[in-house]
Amino acid sequence: MDFAFTEEQLMIQDVARRIAREKIAPSAEHFDRTGEFPLDNIRTLGENGLMGIEVPQEYGGAGMDPIAYVLAIIEIAAADCAHSTIMSVNNSLFCNGILKNGTEAQKQKYVRAIAEGKEIGAYALTEPQSGSDASAMRCRAVKQPNGSWIVNGKKSWITSGPVAKYVNLFAMTEPEKGARGISAFLVDADRPGFIRGKTEPKLGIRASATCEIEFQDYVVEPDELLGKEGEGFKTAMGVLDAGRIGIASQAVGLARAAYEASVAYVRERKSFGQPIGSFQMIQAKIADMKCRLDAAHLLTLRAAWAKAQAEKSGGRFSTEASVAKLTASETAMYITHQALQIHGGMGYSKEMPLERYFRDAKITEIYEGTSEIQRLVIARNETGIR
């Protein structure tokens, strides 16, 4: 088995690492404390091809593969998880679905603007009463005689919602059909009827702006339907498979940062006249952290490889994506917890980034499918029992 990366993959990794270390890491504490959206940093990511890594060059992207995407996300997340969240939504949730299901005109209009970092995209699936049960949505799009739709309803926990220009919206067009009555649309946030709620005050990833969005008689034009009418739920689930690889990568990067900080600390911190890294209980923690980190990393790379193969064959990679997302997110929680314990009082202080890592890690077990949902997906795919 060859674990070597290509020259192109290593190149995008190096670009991401440089931006992460020179621009994102020095400003991470400021954005976490203030909750400001890091627009300049996101523009820099876009200018360097990191907001559309898998987007073909003819649509403004870097034209690279899923492995390159994983390597880049890991580097950005290691500097700041919130930045990688914005990057992941633009790459996976927004661009991916349009590239698979959009028209040529939609790709040129929506994908190019996002991939080049000129605009911010969002993905609106969740509603106040429907999280894991996405098919229970109430947001309604009613078709008009001229072929347009009138949209009314609310979406919640929309990442980048406060700043997004374009939104991939999922709404019920034929409620009597349940999940098969959901359609996907591409909407412009600058038009009448698009109302942004307050930015949510979150535990972690605070620089990643999140809000509720309300639609009041919002008009969607016929050419803004994404894919076929009634196939929105299928589109949403396919996009989430790709998104879960992004979250797994994010979790790996975050876990790596916490692990590396811990290794450095146990070498320097002394107690009872010797480095605390010489104590067996600390050594056990380091060993367990290393094993879990490597496992999460390799499973995430496997999921990216499976996605690349599926794109060639038309197959699925949902099991590999869920395994990676579940393992990596729970690894991030475990490693940041252990890192905080190793650092003791200093880990609890905002003078060090450990407490931010700990707060940021929790969301990876929740968004784009909770750990409980990942276990359902894996078990159902393995057993065939629904």
Q: What is the pLDDT along the chain (386 residues), one digit of tens a residue?
A: 578 999 999 999 999 999 999 999 999 999 999 999 999 999 999 999 999 999 999 999 999 999 999 999 999 999 999 999 999 999 999 999 999 999 999 999 999 999 999 999 999 999 999 888 888 899 999 999 999 999 999 999 999 999 999 999 999 999 999 999 999 999 999 999 999 999 999 999 999 999 999 999 999 999 999 999 999 999 999 999 999 999 999 999 999 999 999 999 999 999 999 999 999 999 999 999 999 999 999 999 999 999 999 999 989 999 999 999 999 999 999 999 999 999 999 999 999 999 999 999 999 999 999 999 999 999 999 999 98
Q: Is 208 helix (H, G, I), strand (E, B) or coil?
A: coil
C-alpha dist (Å) from residue 86 to 120, 126, 134, 209, 331? 9, 17, 22, 9, 21
**Same fold yes or no, 7-120 and 234-383:** no
What tokens were used for 305?
A: 């490889």
- Are residues 108 and 250 in contact, defined by beta-carbon separation less than 8 angstroms? no
Q: Classify domain 234-383 at the CATH superfamily level.
A: Butyryl-CoA Dehydrogenase, subunit A, domain 3 (1.20.140.10)
- Are residues 93 and 114 in contact, defined by beta-carbon separation less than 8 angstroms? no
122-232 topology per CATH: Butyryl-CoA Dehydrogenase, subunit A; domain 2 (2.40.110)
Those residues with Cβ within 8 angstroms of residue 71's Cβ, 6 or more apart along the chain or in another chain: 5, 9, 10, 12, 13, 16
State the pLDDT at residue 1: 59
Here the contacts of 275-283 (C-beta below 8 Å, separation 24 or greater) are: 276/342, 282/342
Q: Which residue from 385, 270, 266, 253 is spatially nearest to 329, judged by alpha carbons?
A: 253
Residue type, 163: V
State the pLDDT at residue 79: 98
Reported as type and span, the H/E element at residue 94 is: none
Catalytic position from the list 320, 330, 365, 368? 368
- Are residues 90 and 120 in contact, defined by beta-carbon separation less than 8 angstroms? yes
Nearest-Å Rg of the Cα atoms of the chain is 21
CA dihedral 259, 262, 268, 272 (to 10 degrees): -140
State the pLDDT at residue 266: 98
Positive or negative, the Cα torsion across 28, 112, 122, 67?
negative
Strand ranges inside the chain, DSSP E: 121-124, 140-143, 149-159, 166-172, 182-188, 194-199, 210-220, 225-226, 270-271, 274-275
Tell me the domain boundaries of the chain.
Answer: 7-120, 122-232, 234-383
Those residues with Cβ within 8 angstroms of residue 334's Cβ, 6 or more apart along the chain or in another chain: 288, 289, 292
Looking at domain 7-120, its CATH class is mainly alpha
Does the annotation count 368 as an active-site position?
yes
